[in-house]
Amino acid sequence: MTIKQIADLCGVSRGTVDRVLNGRGKVKPETEERVLRTIRQLGYTKNIAGKALTLKKTTPVIGVVVSSEGNPFFDDVIEGFRQAERELTDYGVTLMLKTMRGYDVRRQLKLIGELEEAGVSALVIQPINDARIAEKIDALGSNGIPTITVNTDIENSCRSCYVGSDYAAGGVTAAGVMRIVTGGKAKLGIVTGVSMLLGHDQRHEGFEKHIRRVCPDIAIVDSASAMDDTEHSYRMTLAMLNRNPQIDAIFIVAAGAEGVCRAVVEKGREKVIRVVAFDTVPATISMMRSGLVRAVICQQPLRQGHDSVIAAFDMLLSGIPKQGNRIIMEHQIKILENL
């Protein structure tokens, strides 16, 4: 597929297609969208072989920042990063991975700055949903460094692409699973995620809205904060169960399942409380086998890591703008029998 053929199909000049491909502006928004849509549908890439050779000579480095320390979910995400890096060896691509514990904005900005100083060509990041991070992503874009958000997105930024799950839909799915697990009747406690992560808020909101709409006999009794941390989730869940001995079901919004389940077992409630959680990390697998966790919803962490690095590479290779794109993982429901 050539530029001339793209131009003919779109009813525009070759110069217009060239301006769209190279981001040179002076194209009406509706025309630009028509050209980009045609390019995506036909899989056009501009002089891909020549661009690949050029990239190889520059040995591009893709920077990665994730809050993975203490969160076993990211073991598979990082393996996905490495899998993509191995696939891109022939193009001279390498990764520079920066990890952190928790969600401190200044720490994340510092790691981004270190990658920028190291001369990365693109950034893959699990962003804290904060205006300062959004501003930094915009500044990187202005300097020709595209950003791909992975696992969770960020509001009001010019990030190029998001790779991860649809969190609101995940919350609705979890609500449907909870309805099945409880028969539509329960005294429910919710263990929330991290308020600084957009996805966690969206999942929590999606869950609560759907539960209230379709399950009038599931009463949301109380909530506790996990903060993606095992010990914090243990303490907060234990306090919630002490306050509310009537709780007989728990929804875990994000990480922290090990701490939650430890609190339930310590209270001697493992035969009573039914738990729905996310992701097949070691703690949820163990608790599913014990009968405490009845079901989990998976968001394909290996693919998230892999596809986010490939998306960054594709942008460097093709030069086709992808701003606003979303690569969404399909949710998978796991029960003991298909674990």
Model pLDDT for residues 270-329, shown as the tens digit of each residue: 999 999 999 999 999 999 999 999 999 999 999 999 999 999 998 888 765 555 589 999
Is residue 339 assigned to a domain? Answer: no
Average pLDDT over residues 246-257: 97
What are the DSSP calls for 242-296, one per residue?
Answer: HH-TT--EEEE-SS-HHHHHHHHHHTT-TTT-EEEEES--HHHHHHHHHTSEEEE
Q: Are residues 17 and 122 in the same domain?
A: no
Q: Are residues 94 and 23 in the same domain?
A: no
- Predicted confidence at residue 27, as pLDDT, reads 83
Q: Are residues 118 and 204 in the same domain?
A: no
Instruction: Please give the single-letter amino acid code of residue 321.
Output: P
State yes or no: pLDDT of 46 exceeds 60. Answer: no
Q: Are residues 207 and 233 in the same domain?
A: yes
Q: Are residues 59 and 120 in the same domain?
A: yes
Q: What is the pTM of this model?
A: 0.83
| Spatial separation of the C-alpha atoms in residues 147 and 159, rounded to whole Å | 5
Pick from 81, 75, 64: nearest CA to 126: 64
Average pLDDT over residues 238-253: 98
Tell me which DSSP letter residue 91 carries: G
Is residue 269 assigned to a domain? Answer: yes
Is residue 334 assigned to a domain? Answer: no
Q: What angle do CA 41, 46, 47 make, to 5 degrees?
A: 135
Q: Are residues 215 and 126 in the same domain?
A: no
Q: Are residues 286 and 180 in the same domain?
A: yes
Q: Are residues 198 and 255 in the same domain?
A: yes
Check: CB of residue 228 under 8 Å from CB of residue 195. Answer: no
CATH number assigned to the domain comprising residue 270: 3.40.50.2300
Q: Are residues 103 and 75 in the same domain?
A: yes
- Predicted confidence at residue 142, as pLDDT, reads 86
Instruction: Give the torsion sign (CA, 252, 257, 261, 262).
Output: negative
Tally of domains in the chain: 3
Is residue 192 assigned to a domain? Answer: yes
State yes or no: pLDDT of 336 exceeds 80. Answer: yes
Q: Are residues 56 and 150 in the same domain?
A: yes
Q: Are residues 36 and 54 in the same domain?
A: no
State yes or no: pLDDT of 80 exceeds 90. Answer: yes
Is residue 152 assigned to a domain? Answer: yes
Check: CB of residue 123 under 8 Å from CB of residue 311. Answer: no
Residue 146: which domain range? 48-164+301-328
| Spatial separation of the C-alpha atoms in residues 16 and 23, rounded to whole Å | 10
Q: Are residues 281 and 187 in the same domain?
A: yes
Across the beta sheet with 122-125, the strand order is: 94-99, 61-66, 122-125, 147-150, 161-165, 325-329
